Structure 1
């Protein structure tokens, strides 16, 4: 038993000596604190974390409405400011909490991507894509730093939920007043070919579903985390509007992600409240709630024709044009992985676009692998895929560990971790059959959620929570 516990702690990096690792790291010693003296005299840097929050707010406020180029420029600004903060940080015990096991695996994943770039058959494209990947990973680092402050965490979550409400309302308006399809999103021979698929400001229903999924889950847990009936009513409104809008995208991947996320959230919420439940409900509440939700889904499939047709198309295999397209792309992708299984072709869609035409079936051009797991395997090989799965494993373990701790003290901050786990699983389920995960509107949200988990991390044996406790508010 002790051996298994030791193995578990090693796999989850729970017992990894991060403080010793940082103190022995030459890179950490050379970079962190090199501008510390300047920061002490700088009036602007006294507000460093607040300025970082402002930059992050611009990204999450503007992402659905502006071009990818502008988001890229904001990412560059965030990364530059993160570097400035890091170079001017104090080398203290408090700041060791800014680096977690999740950060370590993100760094490892970047290192594997860098090696894949160096060995890529299309180095020029891979270098450009490595730069883009670096921006996203350093966005995670900045988010994880800022979110450690409870009021900053509350602000960013609240901002995203309000922006998502605007996006969701416009999407529902498209359903009632009509929206011109900007691409062929439904099999033209399908009975649903004339059905409106809303896309709001994002221009693509699948992308809209990926953007709204975190909002649906976070607004659900906000109903319990936010204090006061007006705020709870606002959270409920956001939940209803965004859930309805996501359903009206008719995105099958989005629906799969929504079901996975919602079932996960309900299971974790029941676990959270099980301490206060009588024995009967402690045993049967989970089967009753999950059984009821599954029954409701079955009834909607039986009696709501558009839902039934869309769900059945998932199992139509090559009879559905979208399924057939993905199957042909996946056939080519498997051959790409087979030729470079260890380290891949290099990160990013530019590398993919250079190599994929050599393997594609005629008339089945594609910009990505239509599965994030296959995409990662293509880009960075099984080394990168293994590291990514390890990152997920450590992230989920960190979240569950902190939920247990917060549950004991009945700290409502635990609801955000419940939302983070459910969101991540939902986004991964959606991403298994699509690659909207790589679009900046969604990718920035993914790393925000991972950073949300990292912001709660603390080492084993640490007796005091590093950030002063406060209840989550809007």
Structure 2
């Protein structure tokens, strides 16, 4: 091995450990996760300089819509009321998202590497949940933080948010985590792992209940109910038991969840008003939007509800409307093409292994994206930076898992063909010997 090869391998290891560190830190410390990402990018660029073989970029399944989304997001900067702010916000956010996607998509190949990234995500989730339980047991009174209508829910004084910014964002993250735990539970074949995953699901559900996030609770319940209706009816029984136990233990949770259908509070009223304002923005700026990250600057011109109140509105509380408002309808469609394309890629994937890990991973990614899609109807869950980082990381994992599955399937097929060829050659040699004919005369000179 040459010195250049050794250096290339060293840099490859640095890239991989940076990816692991980013995956672990996204939910715990976004600034440190970003630092790990940048370190990985530095290693990657250095490896591209050192090793020409690494300059062969592979085409990921949804590169085109991702690039189109990035391009139209950049174009929207020019129509922003504050181009400097939009440019700063754009390159800091979109840069992080695309680099995460590319770093993983171009450097992760082996199934074992994918597995370790999932383990890193799982370990950080354990810490998030433990801190959530700690907050619920010893945490502060959050009633003054304007996360709930005190008049509509006077008994609700405590909502956990763990390492995330607020309870709703934590709830969206827990929905994603529950989708993965559920997917691995139904696909993994090892009984001990399934028991551990079942226990994890219960703990995740308990932590989700502590957020009192209505839509997130309903979204994950709906996903499991749909799976139970179309795939395995036993899931319906499990959902009923867990939900019933949580409601019996905490009647305030039942009141909070059912309030979606029985009453209108200020949170619901404000969302309806924001959607009306956002639709007006889209109608006035359909092509290039109002500018990346400029919602808070433009909203006062479309304020039909707050009427000048001293409240900063930073997004539309609807993922679909927010993208369409800020980067235009075509930009929003580009993102949704990338988003739902990745979800479909994961859901309809044919990758498999003997343990069920890859099947569980791809099902988990598809269900996680579905949860984000549903939560996005009433909140812009991707406005949160670590939530978006996680989304792009999962999209890259879906792509590389599909690649790894196809490559390993091709290797298996080639091995089977080679084995059949060797068997046929042995049979021909045996027949040649029995007939007194040499292998050479039979036209078969070697086993290669």
TM-score after normalising by structure 2? 0.79
Structure-1 residue corresponding to 2:362: 417
Alignment partner of 1:450 is 2:387: no
Is residue 24–residue 120 contact of structure 2 (8 Å, CA) maintained in 1? yes
Is residue 345–residue 380 contact of structure 1 (8 Å, CA) maintained in 2? yes
Is residue 336–residue 378 contact of structure 1 (8 Å, CA) maintained in 2? yes
Structure-2 residue corresponding to 1:47: 10
Match of 2:164 among 189, 202, 213: 202
Alignment partner of 1:430 is 2:375: yes
Structure-2 residue corresponding to 1:310: 256
Please state whether the residue corresponding to 1:378 is helix, strand or coil. Answer: helix
Q: Would the alpha carbon gap of residues 213 and 302 (structure 1) be closer, same or farther in structure 2, given more than 3 Å must change?
A: closer
Please state whether the residue corresponding to 1:112 is helix, strand or coil. Answer: helix
Q: Residues 206-256 of structure 1, C-alpha deviation per residue, up to 9 Å, x if partnerless?
A: 121122222222222333566755544443333222221012211123213
Offset of residue 292 of structure 1: 4.2
Structure-2 residue corresponding to 1:127: 87
Residue correspondence of structure 1 range 8-27 to structure 2 within 5 A: none
Q: Would the alpha carbon gap of residues 294 and 172 (structure 1) be closer, same or farther in structure 2, given more than 3 Å must change?
A: closer
Match of 2:324 among 377, 395, 401: 377
Structure-1 residue corresponding to 2:211: 249
Match of 1:389 among 336, 342, 358: 336
Please state whether the residue corresponding to 1:315 is helix, strand or coil. Answer: helix
Is residue 346–residue 362 contact of structure 2 (8 Å, CA) maintained in 1? yes
Q: Pick the structure with greater CA Rg.
A: 2
Q: Would the alpha carbon gap of residues 57 and 162 (structure 1) be closer, same or farther in structure 2, given more than 3 Å must change?
A: same
Structure-1 residue corresponding to 2:184: 222
Q: Please give the root-mean-square deviation of Cα atoms over the aligned residues, in Å.
A: 3.4
Partners of 2:317 and 2:245 in 1: how far apart? 27
Structure-2 residue corresponding to 1:6: none
Q: Residues 248-280 of structure 1, C-alpha deviation per residue, up to 9 Å, x if partnerless?
A: 211123213322443465578x3xxxxxxxxxx
Offset of residue 369 of structure 1: 1.2
Match of 2:67 among 102, 107, 115: 107
Structure-2 residue corresponding to 1:353: 296
Match of 1:330 among 251, 262, 275: 275
Partners of 1:400 and 1:89 in 2: how far apart? 36
Alignment partner of 1:179 is 2:122: no
Deviates more, 1:295-304 or 1:180-189: 295-304
Offset of residue 46 of structure 1: 1.3
Q: Would the alpha carbon gap of residues 290 and 464 (structure 1) be closer, same or farther in structure 2, given more than 3 Å must change?
A: closer
Partners of 1:392 and 1:61 in 2: how far apart? 23
Is residue 222–residue 415 contact of structure 1 (8 Å, CA) maintained in 2? yes
Partners of 2:284 and 2:212 in 1: how far apart? 36
Partners of 1:146 and 1:262 in 2: how far apart? 34
Is residue 256–residue 426 contact of structure 1 (8 Å, CA) maintained in 2? no
Partners of 1:76 and 1:422 in 2: how far apart? 29
Partners of 1:47 and 1:264 in 2: how far apart? 47
Partners of 1:222 and 1:256 in 2: how far apart? 21
Is residue 14–residue 40 contact of structure 2 (8 Å, CA) maintained in 1? no
Partners of 1:245 and 1:467 in 2: how far apart? 43
Partners of 2:243 and 2:5 in 1: how far apart? 61
Is residue 79–residue 135 contact of structure 1 (8 Å, CA) maintained in 2? no
Please state whether the residue corresponding to 2:349 is helix, strand or coil. Answer: helix
Higher RCO (C-alpha under 8 Å, 6+ residues apart) = 1
Is residue 15–residue 44 contact of structure 2 (8 Å, CA) maintained in 1? yes
Match of 1:161 among 97, 118, 122: 122
Structure-2 residue corresponding to 1:237: 199
Partners of 1:397 and 1:413 in 2: how far apart? 15
Q: Residues 273-293 of structure 1, C-alpha deviation per residue, up to 9 Å, x if partnerless?
A: xxxxxxxxxxxxx4x346546
Partners of 2:11 and 2:100 in 1: how far apart? 15
Deviates more, 1:77-86 or 1:139-148: 77-86
TM-score after normalising by structure 1? 0.75
Alignment partner of 1:343 is 2:306: no
Partners of 1:358 and 1:82 in 2: how far apart? 45
Deviates more, 1:130-139 or 1:112-121: 112-121
Offset of residue 411 of structure 1: 5.3
Alignment partner of 1:366 is 2:298: no
Residue correspondence of structure 1 range 84-103 to structure 2 within 5 A: 84-85=46-47, 90=52, 95=56, 98-103=58-63
Please state whether the residue corresponding to 1:455 is helix, strand or coil. Answer: helix
